[in-house]
Chain A
Amino acid sequence: MAPETLIGISLGLPLVAVVLVVLFGRMPNLRDGCSGVVAGLVFISTVWLSTTVFSGGRPQWSLGEMLPGFEIAFRVEPLGMLFALVAAGLWILTTAYAVGYMRGHHEQHQTRFFVCFAIAIFAALAAAFSANLFTLFVAYELMTISTYPLVTHHGTREACRGGRVYLGILLSTSIGLFMLAIVWTWSLAGTLDFRIGGILSEAVASGRISQTGLGILIGLFTFGIGKAALMPFHRWLPAAMVAPTPVSALLHAVAVVKVGVFSVLKICIYIFGLELLRESGVSLYLAYVAGFTLVVASLVAMTKDNLKARLAYSTIGQLAYITLGAMLATPNSVIGGGMHIAMHAVGKITLFFCAGAIYVAAHKKNISELDGLGRKMPLTFAAFLIASVSIIGLPPGGGAWSKWFLAIGTVETHQYWLTAALMVSSLLNIAYLVPIPIRAFMKSPSSSTDGETTAKSSWFSEMQEAPLLCVVPLCITAIGSVALFFAAQWIYEILLPVTESASAMMNIPGSTPGATK
């Protein structure tokens, strides 16, 4: 099949899922089956598409001009392909998990839930494949709107308040700052296309934008993309945790937040160009903001007793890693950032799955209540531990590689304070993640005193895991986060073409990952 068609199919399938879910809304089994099958098909088509992209192809597909001069168009490049693969792959698992969770929990409005879910995936894929800033912005906003009903799913006052913060911050940053930055870029460059080497170099050379202006512009972009949750625009992420756990899992560990940092990366690479950023150094102050965010978020995470809130702050910190990588703009840091999108996605979704499984099986929300629960839910907590290792950045977790490249980036640019921030943050990660499984396995349940007397033989009879549809996905993602450790070389080679400078691209037309430096 032609890669162009595959783009259309990958984007169209989630919309098909929307229609099917609405049609079969009254037949839950058929409805959820459709969701699952479509998710599988989307994954297959993205994998198929990736074979072309990773061997150097750059398929394009244009939907036509929405306004004169502003086109809705898609062009798949490695970074977006990687993101699309992660999103599509995790969609399958999340669909399975969501079915288990929503039913185990007897949630209302499941049809609306799955509809919004599919739209959000559509938006994520559209953003991943976008060929220009205009398309990216449209997809970004669609994502905000379609996830609002998911965040406020419970319809309680608390959900309403969370939704208000969510929508308020995301809409106001995107309209007030992001859109402004896009129009400014357009007025400078006369185009919004993503190009290797950026589109602003000419405007800089001709003096139409000063260094200060450039610094402001990238600030507008980075803060305007509120989904990247850079402080001080991070409040929406904890607020969004009122959502049901599958939403938190896919959207606030994978789709929504990753669309944010992905956009930041893409803008740094294809709008500004890494060379321009590196030479002018205008983005360095944002690297420090990111450094600040990742340390402070980790510190805040330590104070949270609510498991989901702690994970939310952990996400804020991990997103700042990616932003940091983008802002340093060296090949290694950008590859580290891109890699961390995948690594963190798989790791964090496992953690959220675990949080949800604990809630479904034991109705526990707070970390202080988890004592001894590891005996009842060994698989869940084992998965939690493995994923924590990956998030912290220890081998054999995938996160080890991405953090390694990011650290190299800080050393390359001689920003040793940032290196220190990365190290401190990793230590803090250990401090706030590892105690959770340890507590669950080692401590005796506070309520029952017979914890110690329980014989080893009855270990399995005690098991009270969440429904199978919840446990299986989280085991798979936990294994995945280890598997990624061994796939790092592959990801590195995939992402390498992204970091090539414009001049290198011209020397080697249609260059492939084989073009070593």
Chain B
Amino acid sequence: MIDAIDSHLAILLIVLPLMAAPICVLLGNGRAAYTLALLVSILTFACSVTMLDEALEHGVIYYDLGNWHPPYGIEYRVDVFSGFVLTFVSGIGAAVLLYAPMSVRDEIPASKHYLFYATYLLCLTGLLGMCVTGDLFNVFVFLEISSLSSYALISLGKTRRAPLAAFQYLILGSIGATFILIGIGLLYQMTGALNMDEIAARVPHEDGPRTVLVAFAFLTVGLCIKMAVFPVHTWLPNAYTYAPSVVTCFIAATSTKVSVYVFVRLIYGIISPGFAFNFLPLDTELMFFSLAGIFIASTAAIYQDNIKRMLAYSSVAQVGYMLLGISLATPTGLSGGIVHMFNHALIKGGLFMVVGCFVLRLGSVQMSDWKGAGRTMPWTATAWVIGGLGLIGVPLTAGFISKWLLLTSIFEAGWWPIAVLMLVSSLLAVVYIWRVVETLFFAEPSEAAAMATEAPLRMLIPTYLLIGGTLVFGVWTTYSAGIAHAAAIALLGEAP
């Protein structure tokens, strides 16, 4: 029995949340739907951990859907890299659900609770599916599942701007998705295959025909929109700002990372880095856009008074660091980029959870309303400080690990001006994080802050789960940088 389940984990990961979502709707009751969603998300986390473990021990797991073999059927494929991403996405998905109920009750009308949890599960399905599948068209399908559900989730926000923000995201997201679809179509036209390994084997890697170039261009631009790379990031600040706190936590921690995952797969698994970086100058371009994004978005973050928007801009900047690592195409650089996906997911998820705690107690995300809240809500405010230090990249936090890896690999490649720019950019993070710290601890308490009480334990515990994680993975990196390194080696090794 156990064996039978074991061999179907890859599909269970998708089927469980996908089936649970309509059941949530049928249940029609917020509390029941929540319990189911939480249960399912924990189960998917368990599945991911098991698969990651197996991928680490026995290598890649293949699963043929309906027993149709690859060229005809859809194949699911879990290696160390996808196992790693699956694990943290499902883990954060579960942690956010653990955190959710009080914040959801506060921000979303009760009549919509069961729909919210159903949509949440669908979004999780989509994100997990993008990581688990080995079929390029299937990636697009799951991408759409996750995108459509996140549009819906974002539009649940309290203010009337939320639907507008969701609409803005819908327009840009759809353009991105269409580009991706066009790219997939062109690749299919060239190779007659949709399975990633098949495409990789058949696509010409040396100065390919124009069709391949165009396909690659469409895919890259489409994914850049979904990753919110500067300058096509414009959907992200509004979406993060106006979505309900819980949704922001979840999407900020996972959604862009999964797009980065697909992008890495595309470059290292399908097109090959030689094609992308040597034949095409994608590495220089990525480096330029990521550095521009890091500086411009970080600077923009400094000038925000809305804290959610500030963190959103910071997310745009952080995606830049991941791309920087990816564009290096060295083991250290790539593992730095990959581990930053995880570390940033932890940090940003944790910080948005802190924001959610403050929203619950203070009812606002404006800096002026947070004044002096550190005195009445010390634990929440301390979590902000720790998460913020992680974002800056201070030693003993997870952020330091990824920055250190990136920095050493940049130096290995001999691009020291970029190293200097990267270090200067992390100083910008000091400014925007510390603006909030000073507001929290030193300003005279605002009216709301003076009356506020500490955030409830039910929210603080999951918050500290992630925030504590940034400290744990800042010291003990076997399961973060270690796995990322293994994943990077595998990715570079399999590149033809």
Contacts and interface: CB of A to CB of B under 8 A. Distances in A.
B95 to A, nearest CB: 25
Contacts of A70: 404
Interface residues of B: mostly helix, strand, loop or mixed? Answer: helix
Contacts of A156: 442
Contact of B427 (A142, A157, A175, A184): A175
A138 B396 contact: yes
B416 interface: yes
Nearest to B407: A183
B477 A66 contact: yes
Contacts of A167: 430, 434
B411 A186 contact: yes
A152 B430 contact: no
A68 B427 contact: no
A41 interface: no
Contact of A168 (B407, B430, B476, B485): B430
Contact of B424 (A66, A137, A176): A176
Contacts of B434: 164, 167-168
A67 B394 contact: no
A145 interface: yes
A176 B396 CA distance: 17
Interface residues of A: mostly helix, strand, loop or mixed? Answer: helix
Given A138-B396, A171-B427, A176-B424, A184 B416 contact: yes
Contacts of B412: 187
Nearest to B339: A67
Contacts of A187: 408, 411-412
Given A183-B407, A183-B419, A186-B408, A141 B430 contact: no
A142 B396 contact: yes
Interface string B434-456: 10001001100000000000000
B389 interface: yes
B475 interface: yes
Name which of B411, B426, B442, B481 has the most chain A CB atoms within 10 A of its CB.
Answer: B442
A183 B411 contact: yes
A296 interface: no
A379 to B, nearest CB: 37
Contacts of B389: 145
Given A164-B438, A168-B430, A179 B423 contact: yes
Given A167-B434, A176-B427, A183-B408, A67 B477 contact: yes
A110 to B, nearest CB: 15
Interface residues of A, number: 28
Interface string A26-66: 00000000000000000000000000000000000000001
B271 interface: no
Contact of A145 (B394, B420, B424): B394
A176 B407 CA distance: 12
Contacts of B393: 175
Nearest to B430: A171
B395 interface: yes
Contacts, number: 72
A172 B427 contact: yes
A495 interface: no
A66 B475 contact: yes
A113 to B, nearest CB: 15
Contacts of B416: 184
Contacts of A183: 404, 407-408, 411, 419
Name which of B395, B430, B438 has the most chain A CB atoms within 10 A of its CB.
Answer: B395
A438 interface: no
Contact of B395 (A138, A155, A157, A159): A138
B67 to A, nearest CB: 41
A431 interface: no
Name which of A70, A164, A187 has the most chain B CB atoms within 10 A of its CB.
Answer: A187
Given A141-B395, A145-B394, A155-B441, A67 B427 contact: no
Contacts of B423: 175-176, 179-180
A70 B404 CA distance: 10
A85 to B, nearest CB: 25
A265 to B, nearest CB: 21
Contacts of A152: 441-442
B247 interface: no
Contacts of A66: 401, 475-477
A67 B404 contact: yes
Interface in B216-268: none
A132 to B, nearest CB: 13
A47 B396 CA distance: 29
B427 A180 contact: no
A12 to B, nearest CB: 15
Interface string B312-353: 000000000000000000000000000000000000000000
Interface string A184-197: 10110000000000
Contact of B442 (A68, A159, A179): A159
A184 B412 CA distance: 9
Contacts of B426: 175
Interface string B379-399: 000000000010011111000
Nearest to A172: B427
A160 interface: yes
Given A137-B395, A183-B408, A184-B416, A157 B430 contact: no
B263 to A, nearest CB: 25
A87 B74 CA distance: 65
A70 to B, nearest CB: 7
B102 to A, nearest CB: 28
A176 B405 CA distance: 16
Nearest to A167: B434
A356 B77 CA distance: 68
A179 B427 CA distance: 12
Contacts of B411: 183-184, 186-187
A67 B475 CA distance: 9
Given A167-B434, A183-B411, A157 B442 contact: yes
A157 B441 CA distance: 10
Contacts of A180: 407, 419-420, 423
Contacts of B404: 67, 70, 183
A157 B442 CA distance: 7
A67 B395 contact: no
A68 B441 CA distance: 38
B481 A179 contact: no
Contacts of A157: 442
B407 A68 contact: no
22 contacts: A70-B404, A137-B395, A138-B395, A141-B395, A145-B389, A159-B442, A160-B441, A160-B442, A168-B430, A171-B392, A171-B430, A175-B427, A176-B423, A179-B407, A179-B423, A180-B420, A183-B407, A183-B411, A184-B411, A184-B416, A187-B408, A187-B412
Interface of B: 389, 392-396, 401, 404-405, 407-408, 411-412, 416, 419-420, 423-424, 426-427, 430, 434, 438, 441-442, 475-477, 481-482, 485
In the A-B complex, list the 7 residue pairs whose CB atoms are closest, starting with the nearest. A160-B442, A187-B411, A138-B395, A141-B395, A183-B411, A183-B407, A172-B427
Given A184-B416, A187-B411, 10 more contacts: A68-B481, A138-B395, A159-B442, A164-B438, A172-B430, A175-B392, A175-B430, A176-B427, A183-B407, A183-B411
